[in-house]
Structure 1
């Protein structure tokens, strides 16, 4: 039954309470912070994220397999500042010659010094590099896992300094022999393992001896010696030395390398060289102290003999002289002071080998010596008041006693130094030596895989976000409603069945190709039924039943919508005329299995035929079609003829609905020409294809010709089937029935 059509309301009149509430609801929804669309985008891009995860994990697995294992060996040293104080106090004085307070920071630097590391490198030939030339990238990784992989161990490599850093070559020959090649490829010699090969290159003598060598014939090795400083820096980077805990004097040493056995041997050699250095330093200091004491020995011995002779001569001349108690006290005190002064002067000489005379420690010692000498002078002044014989006895006895004490102390010190020199105990104790650790400390494969897992996830999400940002087309119908104020009547989901129909249409196969007829239960058809329900409400005030369907650009599915919507209207009992007004690329005739487009709209407008003669009945009951007719060279000029308005007015009286499939509005003006006579104009927008500005321009194009676009049809929605996008589709699907 033909619906009633009322006069169109004046321009600017409100659409009604329902339209306003819908627009207000769209604005409120657009302002909400909704995470579901983003989650939906992630779900839509799940294959891309999965591909990024697989690629990243594959890269991580390859990296973990390719990265060489790093082993670590550890050792521990205890630094001792001084020995326990010996029973002989005189030896304590000499202990300061070769014992000193421990400064762990200084010891750390000594261990990492060029001296210690250089000795280690020379002893173990760590500056010699002999490696097989294998396949790039994977060759080295595969060789690590092959017990039969080519290997070469160098026992002797003597090169002049100017050739260090240059690459020599060793090529395996049949029978286990090898050939030595110069950097320019010249043959230097041939030999067997453990056989010394001598050669001359650029006037310089060269020597090579291999400890072990096994490789298939033809295998090539790269051989070179690193400059010593370069080798030291490399070893220093792999070595870590630190105090285990503060003020414990315990040093922990750790060394990392790709060869666990070589790593332990190298660290033990570093420890041995450090201990050797400390012992050499201690022995040198002891030898130096012995030399000083032995140098003073003749002088002190002569002094003692002189004092004894003078005292013996005095007794021979004067006989026995009894000293008073006072004189005996002066003698004892004077002898003690003389010994102290002599000891302090000796200590001062030792300090002057390290400090200047202006140093605080030296000036303090000078003050002590001066004070003792003043006290000695006071005693001497008291001795001078004694009787003459007693004065002489005190003086001579004091000389003998002081000389005896000094000489005895000297002999004791020399003896103790000899014992210390013979002992192999030093100021360093090796608590733990390095052992071979077969468990690698790096790489941490679980950490690597976890890192690449997060990296792949981040890259996948980033790619999805990038793809989403590059898609400028609108994917949310609420944006159209909120930004353009244009109600979206219906959203039509993507139909896989329609894709098959489209392929059939492209092949120009005869027969009916309407989704609404052949697959009436498809969700896209259900959406068109919702549109039919909505238009019954919105077209009450339309001046005529002509519905113009256009869009901003081609290939957006407007012909599909026009044909199937016409079929849906016809199924409801209405008489429907479908007009293909796209006089440039129209193809509606293919949907109905018509052989060609001839005898159509162009013939009616040009006056060649009446519209009744070009109407073609279809297999769909109550649905007639008018094709484009012969495509004219000037469609716009033809459509501007008054016969178009007359034609639409006449068919409006015969049919309940007249569906006009018009060309896109932005490329050409045909749609605006036809729209001037249409009662209802609908704009088709395709999912994710149109930027907002494109839709805005299309609406303004109609409005500039005084044509109001009633609403929008959002076509080809591809719901991700999860989250808010799916709920949004359900909402639109039932939208018309909730009015």
Structure 2
């Protein structure tokens, strides 16, 4: 019905358009009729007056021949003038049709000028008679032509036939109605969904080929000491996306130590397993200092350092956690304290080491040292002998010293600090660090004469298949 209505509306529009054009032309012709009729009357009066005065002078054969030719040319010129007035409403003077019409008028005007030269050679009486007769005949022919044209346009305006017609009417075949095939639609949708989801998984894997199995790390020759499940606790620090997609850790001045707030969390249980592994791994180490680094920022070094120190302190050992990342260290945000009066102030000689060490609230056996004010030369401060002597003194005062270092692939600070440590651990993040990236970080340590003891696989997510699916299970008391 819609298609049929469109077709009929198009036919009606075509007819109405034709009628509108005919009506416009008819109005123009009717406007010209009074003027032409006045010309006819004036020509008749002039002719009668002259014949009365000249006592009925007749036209010679030569004059009659010139008259017929001049009347024909003048009539054509008048017709073209009317057409020109009509075309002025639709075309510019540069239009090809308009220019062709002007060329015809120019040619006819040239012929008319030739006739006038011949007429000028006739006697005066014959010239005057010819002029009056010509004006009368031209006016009569023009008036008659306008009347005929007005009648034709009136008929065209009233007509209901255009140059468009409907060849076939629009019909609907109701013998075989179409209805949705629900079963086929559901089946196709399921297949498309499986295909799209599978393709999405492979695409994400190609775009971010991060390690998701600790076996891939061990194939690089780096033992995995522990896999820390991803915690969803509300006590963790909030991470916000900054400009250009960079992550930014936001501190609110409150402590966010997961091991103290939620000791039954799966991530804390995994850190206890790491504590046990380190107890045996450090037997042959040259000192009790552990340097914790990572290939890149955002892998969770500070989270591991702080919470590992907490579980070690809960086991009755005296532990010190030092934030050596003097550029972007965030240990103070995890503990909910200020970063001032820290390591950089001690190394610069502005503060004594004892004044920069503070106990953790609620954990008497755990102490910390923040990064201090950001210095202009962090690497130079770490290379100064004062840093080595500081670590040596602190090593004697504590059972375990955990040093949170910057990422090894970003700056060289981690290699400098690890040269003083008895053990070096590398934190890798589930689905973030690539195998080549981890291998490059290992080589960077080896170039500085440091052997990485092992890896900590952090933020392992729960998957249908994978390490987390069978690595850790929740095992806690249901009593409050």
**Do the structures match in fold with TM over 0.5?**
yes
Matches within 5 A, 1:332-411: none
Distance 1:556 1:631 in 2: 22
Q: How does 1:560-709 map to 2 (within 5 A)?
A: 560-594=303-337, 596-619=338-361, 620-709=363-452
SS in structure 2 at match of 1:716: strand
Q: CA deviation at 1:606?
A: 2.3
Equivalent pairs counted in the alignment come to: 331
Once the two structures are superposed, the pairs formed by residues 529-568 of structure 1 within 5 Å of their partners are 529-568=272-311
Alignment check: 8 A CA contact 1:169 1:183 kept: no
Match of 1:171 in 2: 9
CA distance in 2, matches of 1:183, 1:697: 81
Per the normalisation by structure 2, the TM-score is 0.63
How many angstroms does 1:225 deviate by?
Answer: 5.0
Q: Deviations over 1:658-691 (max 9, x none)?
A: 0000011101000000111100000000111111
The alpha-carbon deviation at position 186 of structure 1 amounts to 4.2
- In the TM superposition, residue 198 of structure 1 has moved relative to its aligned partner by 7.0
Counterparts in 2 of 1:704-719, with a 5 A limit? 704-719=447-462
Q: What's the counterpart of residue 486 of structure 1?
A: 222
- Alignment pair present for 1:182 and 2:96: no
In 2, Cα distance between equivalents of 1:465 and 1:690: 17
Picking from 188, 203, 206, the partner of 1:466 is 203
> Within 5 Å, which residues of 2 pair with 1:225-240?
225=168
Give the equivalent residue in structure 2 for 1:132.
Answer: 2
Q: What is the rounded CA distance, in whole Å, between the counterparts of 1:472 and 1:503 in structure 2?
A: 23
CA distance in 2, matches of 1:443, 1:590: 60
Deviation at residue 468 of structure 1 after TM alignment = 2.6
Paired residue for 2:113?
none
Cα separation, 1, equivalents of 2:456 and 2:300: 10
Write the distance in 1 (CA, Å) between the matches of 2:425 and 2:350.
Answer: 30
Matched, 1:475 2:212: yes
CA distance in 1, matches of 2:261, 2:269: 13
CA distance in 2, matches of 1:455, 1:184: 52
Deviation string, structure 1 residues 388-426 (Cα, Å, up to 9, x no partner): xxxxxxxxxxxxxxxxxxxxxxxxxxxxxxxxxxxxxxx
**Deviation (angstroms), 1:460:** 2.2
Q: CA deviation at 1:727?
A: 3.3
CA deviation map 1:595-616 (0-9, x unaligned): x222221122223333122211
Q: TM-score under structure 1 normalisation?
A: 0.42
Contact 2:235/2:257 (<8 A) preserved: no
- Cα separation, partners in 2 of 1:507 and 1:553, compared to 1, 3 Å: closer
| Separation in structure 1 between the aligned mates of residue 315 and residue 436 of structure 2, nearest angstrom | 37
* SS of match in other structure, 2:191: helix
Aligned partners of 2:295, 2:432: CA distance in 1, in Å? Answer: 10
Shift of 1:631: 1.3
The CA distance in 2 between the partners of 1:580 and 1:521, in whole Å, is: 26
Unaligned 5+ segments in structure 2 are 21-157, 241-247, 476-480
Secondary structure (helix, strand or coil) at the match of 2:189 reads helix
Structure 1 residue 634, shift from structure 2 partner = 0.9
RMSD: 3.1
Distance 1:184 1:655 in 2: 102
Residue 730 (structure 1) aligned to one of 432, 456, 472? 472
Gaps of 5+ in 1: 1-130, 134-150, 153-167, 173-178, 189-196, 209-222, 227-256, 261-436, 735-739
> Which of 447, 450, 453 is the matching residue for 2:184?
447
Alignment of 1:285-300 (within 5 A): none
**Could you tell me how far apart the structure 1 residues matched to 2:9 and 2:221 are?**
82
